[in-house]
Structure 1
């Protein structure tokens, strides 16, 4: 595994995107434990795209305009739904005092997973990204791509946890005023809308 791959992976994962913003929003609103669940969910959501790239299914999205458009529309709708839910949530951003219920953690992780599953450009990214760093051929190439993908997922998990826990730490230092909390929610909702708009106008 080359240093170039690790550096490229680090840059790609650090770049702001739907998964990063979701993990940050969970850290700000629900605390560190929930943000870890969000990070895990977003990381798990990478797996279908990785498998699609390795097996060649991503090529279908690249050649089939209908398949790409269907998944893209679902992704846009889900991002808009996230923005709507963020605006509707008026729960005070109280500092976390106890562990969240298990079902809430599962729901948080599931939303993060769905966010990445409904991103058609993720599989196309892997299709273009992984082969550049594969030195083997035949069956060995598949194993190498899976290993590279596993490293990508591990880096994603670690960095997203850092993002989420950092946001949770900042939450503890936010002035406890409804106006500040409302501004934060509007900002997060606006970012989700912008991400949805960018996905809506994206080309392959």
Structure 2
């Protein structure tokens, strides 16, 4: 994998991670309710949860992509179309106060860890997204499995850092996300990036 392609993945992942999803909203809510003592279990849960989701998405994916050019192209096209669908959906999304509703806060740090891990790891949409997103940054002329694991490891590190920042600045993040203007900006940035990534995947395969 070229360094420039890896940097493109880092940039795309950074924009996507900033957009608050169920995991980040859970982290913010729990951090505000329990204070700094909740940060360590929450951050550990995000790291383990993303690792779990990525491993589930990569099981069999590497072998499938390495099987033939046909399956590599099929996965790239399916993933590109799915990313375009997600991008359009996010661009058309409105602002909903219900998205910012805090979940019921458990009392113990173990329950905090377990709940956050479940939200992060067992989200089917997240697993499907990884299957669609990671192959867009794979070089077909190089070994597939090492590239997938490099991208997965990079994403987990970035997701952990992102969760750490949100947890540390939970109160400020909560006020920011309560702004309809901020939500629209998040949706616009994320939807645009997903759509561009999907179109890029489709055009790249046509050129090949």
**TM-score bracket, shorter-length normalisation:** 0.5 to 0.7
Shift in alpha-carbon separation, 1:18–1:125, aligned structure 2, 3 A: same
Shift in alpha-carbon separation, 1:182–1:108, aligned structure 2, 3 A: same
Q: 2:74 aligns with which of 52, 60, 84?
A: 60
Shift in alpha-carbon separation, 1:109–1:80, aligned structure 2, 3 A: farther
> Which residue does the alignment assign to 1:138?
none
> Which residue does the alignment assign to 1:125?
137
> Which residue does the alignment assign to 2:34?
none
Give unmatched runs, 5+ long, in structure 2: 32-38, 203-208
Q: Is the 8 A contact 1:27 1:34 kept in 2?
A: yes
Q: Is the 8 A contact 1:61 1:68 kept in 2?
A: yes
Distance 2:11 2:193 in 1: 18
Distance 2:84 2:115 in 1: 28
Shift of 1:191: 1.1
> Which residue does the alignment assign to 1:151?
150
Q: 1:12 aligns with which of 2, 9, 22?
A: 9
Question: How large is the Cα RMSD of the aligned pairs?
Answer: 4.3
Q: 1:196 aligns with which of 169, 179, 191?
A: 191
Shift of 1:125: 2.2
Pairs aligned (count) = 176
> Which residue does the alignment assign to 2:206?
none
Q: Is the 8 A contact 1:27 1:164 kept in 2?
A: yes
Distance 1:40 1:80 in 2: 30
Q: Is the 8 A contact 1:79 1:195 kept in 2?
A: yes
Q: Normalising by structure 1, what TM-score?
A: 0.58
Q: 1:106 aligns with which of 107, 118, 129?
A: 118
Q: Is the 8 A contact 2:47 2:160 kept in 1?
A: yes
Shift of 1:123: 2.0
Distance 1:164 1:82 in 2: 24
Q: Deviations over 1:95-133 (max 9, x none)?
A: x9734162453123223x62352363432322x3x63xx
Shift in alpha-carbon separation, 1:104–1:162, aligned structure 2, 3 A: closer
Shift of 1:83: 7.5
Distance 1:82 1:17 in 2: 17
Shift of 1:59: 0.5
Q: Normalising by structure 2, what TM-score?
A: 0.57
Q: Is the 8 A contact 1:24 1:167 kept in 2?
A: yes
